[in-house]
Protein backbone atom coordinates (compact mmCIF):
# COMPACT_ATOMS: atom_id res chain seq x y z
CA UNK A 1 0.00 0.00 0.00
CA UNK A 2 0.92 3.63 -0.39
CA UNK A 3 0.24 5.35 2.92
CA UNK A 4 0.38 9.03 3.81
CA UNK A 5 1.07 9.51 7.51
CA UNK A 6 0.53 12.94 9.00
CA UNK A 7 1.91 13.81 12.42
CA UNK A 8 0.58 16.85 14.28
CA UNK A 9 2.44 19.19 16.57
CA UNK A 10 2.11 17.16 19.77
CA UNK A 11 3.27 13.98 17.98
CA UNK A 12 6.50 15.76 17.00
CA UNK A 13 6.56 17.95 20.11
CA UNK A 14 10.18 17.22 21.07
CA UNK A 15 13.20 15.32 19.75
CA UNK A 16 12.27 12.14 21.55
CA UNK A 17 8.82 12.21 19.98
CA UNK A 18 10.31 12.80 16.55
CA UNK A 19 12.37 9.66 17.16
CA UNK A 20 9.14 7.81 18.06
CA UNK A 21 7.62 8.98 14.80
CA UNK A 22 10.70 7.74 12.96
CA UNK A 23 10.25 4.35 14.62
CA UNK A 24 6.61 4.19 13.59
CA UNK A 25 7.41 5.15 10.00
CA UNK A 26 10.14 2.54 9.93
CA UNK A 27 7.71 -0.10 11.19
CA UNK A 28 5.23 0.79 8.44
CA UNK A 29 7.96 0.54 5.80
CA UNK A 30 9.08 -2.84 7.17
CA UNK A 31 5.50 -4.08 6.82
CA UNK A 32 6.00 -3.54 3.09
CA UNK A 33 4.34 -0.18 2.52
CA UNK A 34 5.49 2.92 0.71
CA UNK A 35 5.26 5.91 3.05
CA UNK A 36 4.92 9.63 2.55
CA UNK A 37 5.05 11.58 5.80
CA UNK A 38 3.56 15.03 6.30
CA UNK A 39 4.55 16.89 9.45
CA UNK A 40 3.39 19.89 11.46
CA UNK A 41 5.70 22.21 13.31
CA UNK A 42 6.70 21.07 16.80
CA UNK A 43 3.88 22.05 19.16
CA UNK A 44 4.02 25.69 20.22
CA UNK A 45 6.49 26.51 17.44
CA UNK A 46 4.06 28.30 15.11
CA UNK A 47 2.73 30.39 18.01
CA UNK A 48 6.28 31.28 18.95
CA UNK A 49 7.00 32.44 15.40
CA UNK A 50 3.80 34.51 15.36
CA UNK A 51 4.92 36.17 18.61
CA UNK A 52 8.35 36.91 17.10
CA UNK A 53 6.71 38.75 14.23
CA UNK A 54 4.46 40.67 16.62
CA UNK A 55 7.51 41.79 18.55
CA UNK A 56 8.38 43.99 15.57
CA UNK A 57 5.00 44.82 14.11
CA UNK A 58 1.29 44.60 14.82
CA UNK A 59 0.65 44.29 11.14
CA UNK A 60 3.51 42.48 9.43
CA UNK A 61 3.39 41.92 5.67
CA UNK A 62 1.62 38.65 5.02
CA UNK A 63 4.23 37.32 2.64
CA UNK A 64 6.86 37.78 5.36
CA UNK A 65 4.59 36.00 7.82
CA UNK A 66 4.36 33.08 5.42
CA UNK A 67 8.15 32.93 5.00
CA UNK A 68 8.41 32.85 8.77
CA UNK A 69 5.63 30.41 9.65
CA UNK A 70 6.48 27.91 6.92
CA UNK A 71 9.87 27.40 8.54
CA UNK A 72 8.39 25.56 11.55
CA UNK A 73 7.25 22.62 9.43
CA UNK A 74 10.53 22.53 7.52
CA UNK A 75 12.46 22.08 10.74
CA UNK A 76 10.41 19.02 11.66
CA UNK A 77 10.56 17.53 8.16
CA UNK A 78 14.34 17.87 8.03
CA UNK A 79 14.84 16.44 11.53
CA UNK A 80 12.61 13.47 10.83
CA UNK A 81 14.42 12.73 7.59
CA UNK A 82 17.78 12.93 9.38
CA UNK A 83 16.50 10.53 12.05
CA UNK A 84 15.20 8.07 9.45
CA UNK A 85 18.43 8.07 7.45
CA UNK A 86 20.37 7.51 10.65
CA UNK A 87 18.26 4.40 11.28
CA UNK A 88 19.29 3.11 7.87
CA UNK A 89 16.00 3.98 6.24
CA UNK A 90 16.59 6.12 3.12
CA UNK A 91 14.51 9.29 3.39
CA UNK A 92 14.35 12.74 1.88
CA UNK A 93 12.70 15.91 3.18
CA UNK A 94 10.82 18.32 0.94
CA UNK A 95 9.33 21.77 1.32
CA UNK A 96 5.83 22.37 -0.03
CA UNK A 97 7.41 23.81 -3.16
CA UNK A 98 9.51 20.71 -3.81
CA UNK A 99 6.43 18.54 -3.27
CA UNK A 100 4.74 20.41 -6.13
CA UNK A 101 2.04 22.13 -4.07
CA UNK A 102 0.67 25.17 -5.89
CA UNK A 103 -1.75 27.47 -4.05
CA UNK A 104 -3.53 30.70 -4.76
CA UNK A 105 -1.78 33.89 -3.65
CA UNK A 106 -3.82 34.57 -0.49
CA UNK A 107 -1.04 34.73 2.05
CA UNK A 108 -1.63 33.10 5.46
CA UNK A 109 -4.81 31.38 4.26
CA UNK A 110 -4.00 30.08 0.82
CA UNK A 111 -5.99 27.36 -0.89
CA UNK A 112 -4.30 24.50 -2.69
CA UNK A 113 -4.93 24.72 -6.41
CA UNK A 114 -2.93 21.80 -7.74
CA UNK A 115 -0.26 19.30 -6.81
CA UNK A 116 2.30 17.92 -9.22
CA UNK A 117 3.36 14.63 -7.61
CA UNK A 118 6.25 13.91 -10.00
CA UNK A 119 9.07 14.60 -7.52
CA UNK A 120 7.35 12.67 -4.77
CA UNK A 121 6.88 9.67 -7.05
CA UNK A 122 10.52 9.86 -8.23
CA UNK A 123 11.77 9.64 -4.66
CA UNK A 124 9.28 6.96 -3.67
CA UNK A 125 10.26 4.88 -6.68
CA UNK A 126 13.91 5.13 -5.72
CA UNK A 127 12.96 3.49 -2.44
CA UNK A 128 12.86 6.52 -0.17
CA UNK A 129 10.49 7.68 2.50
CA UNK A 130 9.36 11.17 1.49
CA UNK A 131 8.95 13.62 4.38
CA UNK A 132 7.02 16.76 3.50
CA UNK A 133 6.65 20.00 5.42
CA UNK A 134 2.90 20.48 5.87
CA UNK A 135 0.88 23.70 5.97
CA UNK A 136 2.58 25.30 2.95
CA UNK A 137 2.90 25.65 -0.77
CA UNK A 138 3.90 28.32 -3.29
CA UNK A 139 1.78 30.53 -5.49
CA UNK A 140 2.24 30.54 -9.25
CA UNK A 141 5.02 33.11 -8.91
CA UNK A 142 6.93 30.98 -6.45
CA UNK A 143 6.07 32.97 -3.32
CA UNK A 144 5.79 30.83 -0.20
CA UNK A 145 2.24 30.58 1.16
CA UNK A 146 0.65 28.91 4.17
CA UNK A 147 -2.77 27.30 4.38
CA UNK A 148 -4.20 28.80 7.58
CA UNK A 149 -3.71 27.58 11.14
CA UNK A 150 -4.00 23.84 11.50
CA UNK A 151 -3.47 23.53 7.76
CA UNK A 152 -1.11 20.57 7.67
CA UNK A 153 -4.06 18.17 7.82
CA UNK A 154 -5.16 19.71 4.55
CA UNK A 155 -1.69 19.23 3.11
CA UNK A 156 -1.81 15.56 4.02
CA UNK A 157 -5.26 14.98 2.52
CA UNK A 158 -4.43 16.87 -0.67
CA UNK A 159 -1.15 14.97 -1.05
CA UNK A 160 -2.91 11.66 -0.46
CA UNK A 161 -5.40 12.64 -3.16
CA UNK A 162 -2.68 13.64 -5.63
CA UNK A 163 -0.74 10.40 -5.02
CA UNK A 164 -3.95 8.35 -5.03
CA UNK A 165 -2.71 6.86 -1.77
CA UNK A 166 -4.57 3.92 -0.28
CA UNK A 167 -4.76 5.55 3.14
CA UNK A 168 -4.17 8.87 4.82
CA UNK A 169 -3.47 8.44 8.52
CA UNK A 170 -3.76 11.51 10.72
CA UNK A 171 -1.86 11.02 13.97
CA UNK A 172 -2.87 13.21 16.91
CA UNK A 173 -3.11 12.85 20.66
CA UNK A 174 -6.71 11.58 20.40
CA UNK A 175 -7.33 7.94 19.57
CA UNK A 176 -10.24 8.39 17.16
CA UNK A 177 -13.85 9.48 16.81
CA UNK A 178 -16.24 8.51 19.60
CA UNK A 179 -20.01 7.96 19.68
CA UNK A 180 -20.15 11.06 21.86
CA UNK A 181 -17.81 13.17 23.97
CA UNK A 182 -16.35 10.70 26.51
CA UNK A 183 -16.08 13.51 29.07
CA UNK A 184 -19.89 13.68 29.08
CA UNK A 185 -20.60 9.97 28.66
CA UNK A 186 -17.77 7.73 29.85
CA UNK A 187 -19.49 4.80 28.12
CA UNK A 188 -18.83 6.42 24.72
CA UNK A 189 -17.27 3.97 22.30
CA UNK A 190 -14.68 4.55 19.64
CA UNK A 191 -16.11 4.09 16.14
CA UNK A 192 -14.30 1.76 13.73
CA UNK A 193 -15.72 3.47 10.68
CA UNK A 194 -17.81 6.47 9.88
CA UNK A 195 -18.88 8.12 6.63
CA UNK A 196 -17.66 11.53 5.51
CA UNK A 197 -21.14 13.01 5.86
CA UNK A 198 -21.63 11.70 9.38
CA UNK A 199 -18.22 13.03 10.34
CA UNK A 200 -19.14 16.46 9.00
CA UNK A 201 -22.38 16.45 10.99
CA UNK A 202 -20.57 15.30 14.11
CA UNK A 203 -18.10 18.16 13.78
CA UNK A 204 -18.63 19.17 17.38
CA UNK A 205 -17.26 15.78 18.41
CA UNK A 206 -14.46 15.75 15.94
CA UNK A 207 -13.50 19.36 15.69
CA UNK A 208 -10.55 18.86 17.97
CA UNK A 209 -9.51 15.85 15.94
CA UNK A 210 -10.11 16.94 12.36
CA UNK A 211 -11.03 20.19 10.69
CA UNK A 212 -14.18 20.11 8.58
CA UNK A 213 -12.20 21.50 5.69
CA UNK A 214 -10.00 18.40 5.71
CA UNK A 215 -12.97 16.05 5.84
CA UNK A 216 -14.64 17.91 2.97
CA UNK A 217 -11.48 17.65 0.92
CA UNK A 218 -11.11 13.95 1.72
CA UNK A 219 -14.68 13.41 0.56
CA UNK A 220 -14.09 15.33 -2.64
CA UNK A 221 -10.83 13.51 -3.43
CA UNK A 222 -12.15 10.18 -2.16
CA UNK A 223 -9.31 9.79 0.34
CA UNK A 224 -9.69 7.14 3.04
CA UNK A 225 -8.84 8.98 6.24
CA UNK A 226 -7.86 7.40 9.52
CA UNK A 227 -7.50 9.34 12.75
CA UNK A 228 -5.43 7.65 15.42
CA UNK A 229 -2.99 8.40 18.18
CA UNK A 230 0.77 8.34 17.77
CA UNK A 231 1.26 7.40 21.40
CA UNK A 232 -0.09 3.83 21.32
CA UNK A 233 -0.71 1.11 18.74
CA UNK A 234 -4.46 1.39 19.19
CA UNK A 235 -6.41 1.34 15.90
CA UNK A 236 -8.17 4.59 15.06
CA UNK A 237 -11.37 5.50 13.19
CA UNK A 238 -11.67 5.17 9.41
CA UNK A 239 -13.56 7.97 7.69
CA UNK A 240 -14.66 6.79 4.30
CA UNK A 241 -17.45 6.83 1.77
CA UNK A 242 -20.78 5.42 2.80
CA UNK A 243 -20.59 2.53 0.32
CA UNK A 244 -17.56 1.20 2.21
CA UNK A 245 -19.59 0.80 5.39
CA UNK A 246 -21.46 -2.47 5.33
CA UNK A 247 -23.36 -2.30 8.59
CA UNK A 248 -25.06 1.04 8.69
CA UNK A 249 -25.99 1.90 12.26
CA UNK A 250 -29.24 3.85 12.69
CA UNK A 251 -27.39 6.34 14.80
CA UNK A 252 -23.59 6.64 14.84
CA UNK A 253 -23.16 9.42 17.33
CA UNK A 254 -24.62 12.16 19.49
CA UNK A 255 -23.29 15.68 19.06
CA UNK A 256 -23.66 18.59 21.43
CA UNK A 257 -23.33 22.22 20.47
CA UNK A 258 -23.35 24.69 23.35
CA UNK A 259 -22.30 27.56 21.18
CA UNK A 260 -25.74 28.62 19.92
CA UNK A 261 -28.10 31.34 21.09
CA UNK A 262 -31.74 31.72 20.20
CA UNK A 263 -33.23 34.93 18.91
CA UNK A 264 -37.02 35.21 19.00
CA UNK A 265 -38.80 37.83 16.96
CA UNK A 266 -42.36 38.55 18.06
CA UNK A 267 -45.02 40.35 16.09
CA UNK A 268 -43.20 40.17 12.79
CA UNK A 269 -45.14 41.80 9.93
CA UNK A 270 -46.51 38.88 7.95
CA UNK A 271 -45.83 40.15 4.45
CA UNK A 272 -44.19 38.55 1.42
CA UNK A 273 -40.44 39.16 1.46
CA UNK A 274 -40.02 39.74 5.19
CA UNK A 275 -38.00 36.55 5.76
CA UNK A 276 -35.90 37.39 2.76
CA UNK A 277 -35.25 40.90 4.12
CA UNK A 278 -34.33 39.70 7.58
CA UNK A 279 -32.05 36.85 6.56
CA UNK A 280 -30.37 38.74 3.75
CA UNK A 281 -29.50 41.57 6.13
CA UNK A 282 -28.14 39.03 8.61
CA UNK A 283 -26.10 37.40 5.86
CA UNK A 284 -24.73 40.80 4.84
CA UNK A 285 -23.46 41.14 8.42
CA UNK A 286 -21.89 37.67 8.20
CA UNK A 287 -24.18 36.17 10.83
CA UNK A 288 -24.46 32.39 10.47
CA UNK A 289 -28.01 31.14 10.91
CA UNK A 290 -28.55 27.56 11.95
CA UNK A 291 -32.16 26.65 12.78
CA UNK A 292 -35.19 28.71 11.80
CA UNK A 293 -38.80 28.33 12.92
CA UNK A 294 -41.66 30.47 11.74
CA UNK A 295 -45.06 30.01 13.30
CA UNK A 296 -48.38 30.33 11.52
CA UNK A 297 -49.39 33.96 11.35
CA UNK A 298 -52.42 35.62 13.01
CA UNK A 299 -53.83 39.07 12.35
CA UNK A 300 -51.06 39.94 9.94
CA UNK A 301 -48.37 39.03 12.47
CA UNK A 302 -46.13 36.04 12.89
CA UNK A 303 -43.28 34.89 15.14
CA UNK A 304 -39.85 33.92 13.93
CA UNK A 305 -37.19 32.11 15.95
CA UNK A 306 -33.67 31.31 14.85
CA UNK A 307 -30.32 30.37 16.30
CA UNK A 308 -26.93 31.98 15.74
CA UNK A 309 -23.46 31.29 17.19
CA UNK A 310 -23.10 32.93 20.61
CA UNK A 311 -20.35 35.27 19.48
CA UNK A 312 -22.51 36.60 16.63
CA UNK A 313 -25.47 37.65 18.78
CA UNK A 314 -24.32 41.28 18.96
CA UNK A 315 -24.00 41.50 15.19
CA UNK A 316 -27.46 39.98 14.83
CA UNK A 317 -28.85 42.41 17.40
CA UNK A 318 -27.54 45.39 15.43
CA UNK A 319 -29.41 44.11 12.38
CA UNK A 320 -32.62 43.36 14.28
CA UNK A 321 -32.69 46.80 15.93
CA UNK A 322 -33.14 48.31 12.49
CA UNK A 323 -36.25 46.20 11.93
CA UNK A 324 -37.56 47.23 15.36
CA UNK A 325 -37.08 50.89 14.52
CA UNK A 326 -38.89 50.39 11.23
CA UNK A 327 -41.79 48.79 13.12
CA UNK A 328 -41.49 45.59 11.14
CA UNK A 329 -41.01 43.69 14.38
CA UNK A 330 -42.71 44.38 17.70
CA UNK A 331 -40.41 42.69 20.14
CA UNK A 332 -37.21 40.66 20.34
CA UNK A 333 -35.84 38.35 22.96
CA UNK A 334 -32.50 36.61 23.23
CA UNK A 335 -31.80 33.33 24.94
CA UNK A 336 -28.22 32.35 25.68
CA UNK A 337 -28.98 29.36 27.84
CA UNK A 338 -29.80 26.90 25.09
CA UNK A 339 -27.91 24.08 23.46
CA UNK A 340 -28.38 21.88 20.44
CA UNK A 341 -28.26 18.10 20.73
CA UNK A 342 -28.11 16.10 17.52
CA UNK A 343 -28.29 12.45 16.63
CA UNK A 344 -26.45 11.53 13.47
CA UNK A 345 -26.51 8.36 11.40
CA UNK A 346 -26.71 7.27 7.77
CA UNK A 347 -29.05 4.43 8.72
CA UNK A 348 -31.80 7.01 9.33
CA UNK A 349 -32.23 7.39 5.59
CA UNK A 350 -33.90 4.01 5.32
CA UNK A 351 -35.61 3.65 8.71
CA UNK A 352 -38.62 5.24 10.29
CA UNK A 353 -39.15 6.14 13.93
CA UNK A 354 -35.62 7.32 14.58
CA UNK A 355 -36.65 10.91 15.26
CA UNK A 356 -39.71 9.83 17.26
CA UNK A 357 -37.43 7.88 19.56
CA UNK A 358 -35.31 10.97 20.19
CA UNK A 359 -38.43 12.94 21.14
CA UNK A 360 -39.75 10.27 23.47
CA UNK A 361 -36.33 10.02 25.10
CA UNK A 362 -36.48 13.75 25.87
CA UNK A 363 -40.06 13.39 27.09
CA UNK A 364 -39.10 10.57 29.45
CA UNK A 365 -36.53 12.89 31.04
CA UNK A 366 -39.02 15.75 31.15
CA UNK A 367 -36.84 17.84 28.88
CA UNK A 368 -38.70 20.39 26.79
CA UNK A 369 -37.71 20.63 23.13
CA UNK A 370 -38.02 24.17 21.84
CA UNK A 371 -36.83 23.76 18.25
CA UNK A 372 -36.36 20.81 15.93
CA UNK A 373 -34.66 20.47 12.62
CA UNK A 374 -33.85 17.43 10.54
CA UNK A 375 -31.78 16.44 7.55
CA UNK A 376 -31.43 13.08 5.85
CA UNK A 377 -28.91 11.87 8.40
CA UNK A 378 -29.50 14.13 11.40
CA UNK A 379 -32.12 15.18 13.92
CA UNK A 380 -31.28 18.26 15.97
CA UNK A 381 -33.15 19.54 19.00
CA UNK A 382 -32.76 22.79 20.87
CA UNK A 383 -33.20 22.37 24.61
CA UNK A 384 -32.27 24.23 27.75
CA UNK A 385 -28.53 24.20 28.30
CA UNK A 386 -28.84 22.87 31.82
CA UNK A 387 -30.09 19.55 30.46
CA UNK A 388 -27.32 19.22 27.86
CA UNK A 389 -25.39 16.41 29.51
CA UNK A 390 -28.49 14.53 30.63
CA UNK A 391 -29.88 14.66 27.08
CA UNK A 392 -26.64 13.39 25.57
CA UNK A 393 -26.41 10.51 28.02
CA UNK A 394 -30.02 9.41 27.66
CA UNK A 395 -29.90 9.54 23.86
CA UNK A 396 -26.63 7.64 23.91
CA UNK A 397 -28.26 4.83 25.80
CA UNK A 398 -31.61 5.02 23.96
CA UNK A 399 -29.84 4.19 20.70
CA UNK A 400 -27.71 1.57 22.46
CA UNK A 401 -24.47 3.28 21.52
CA UNK A 402 -22.86 1.95 24.68
CA UNK A 403 -23.47 -1.65 23.59
* Smallest distance from ligand ASP to CB 255, Å: 23
Given the rule CB under 6 A, which of 24-32, 146-154, 164-172, 282-290 is the region that contacts ligand ASP? 146-154
Binding mask 59-88 toward ligand ASP (x if CB under 6 A, else -) reads -------------x----------------
Q: Which of these segments, 91-99, 147-155, 227-235, 312-320, binds ligand ASP (CB under 6 A)?
A: 147-155
Out of ligand ASP, Mg ion, none, what residue 236 binds, judged by CB under 5 to 8 A for its kind, is none
Burial class of 403 by CB neighbour count within 10 A (0 to 12, 13 to 18, 19+): exposed
User: Is residue 117 close enough to count as binding ligand ASP by CB under 6 A?
Assistant: no
- Of positions 11, 81, 145, 152, contacts ligand ASP by CB under 6 A: 152
What is the CB neighbour count within 10 angstroms for residue 95? 19
The stretch near ligand ASP (CB under 6 A) out of 125-133, 149-157, 176-184, 296-304 is 149-157
Q: Does 135 bind ligand ASP (CB under 6 A)?
A: yes
Q: What would the x/- binding string for ligand ASP be over residues 27 to 46, using CB under 6 A?
A: -------------xx----x
Provide φ and ψ at 396, rounded to 5°.
Answer: -55, -40
- Report how far residue 241's alpha carbon sits from residue 390's, in angstroms, rounded to the nearest whole number: 32
The listed partner (ligand ASP, Mg ion, none) that binds 253, CB under 5 to 8 Å by sort, is none
* x/- track of binding to Mg ion for residues 21-60 (CB under 5 A): -------------------x--------------------
Residues in contact with ligand ASP by the rule CB under 6 A: 8-9, 40-41, 46, 72, 134-135, 149-152
Amino acid sequence: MLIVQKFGGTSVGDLERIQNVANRVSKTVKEGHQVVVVVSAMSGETNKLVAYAEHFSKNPARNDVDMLLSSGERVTAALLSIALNEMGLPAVSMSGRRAGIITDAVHTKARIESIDPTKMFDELNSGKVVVIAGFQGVDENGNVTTLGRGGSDLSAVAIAGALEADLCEIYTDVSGIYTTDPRIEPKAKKLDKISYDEMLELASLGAKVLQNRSVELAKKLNVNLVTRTSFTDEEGTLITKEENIMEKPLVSGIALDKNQSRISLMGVKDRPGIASDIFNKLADSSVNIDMIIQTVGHDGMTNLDFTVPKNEVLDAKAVMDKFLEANEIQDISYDDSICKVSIVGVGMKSHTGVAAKAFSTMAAENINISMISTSEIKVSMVISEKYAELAVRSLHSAYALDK
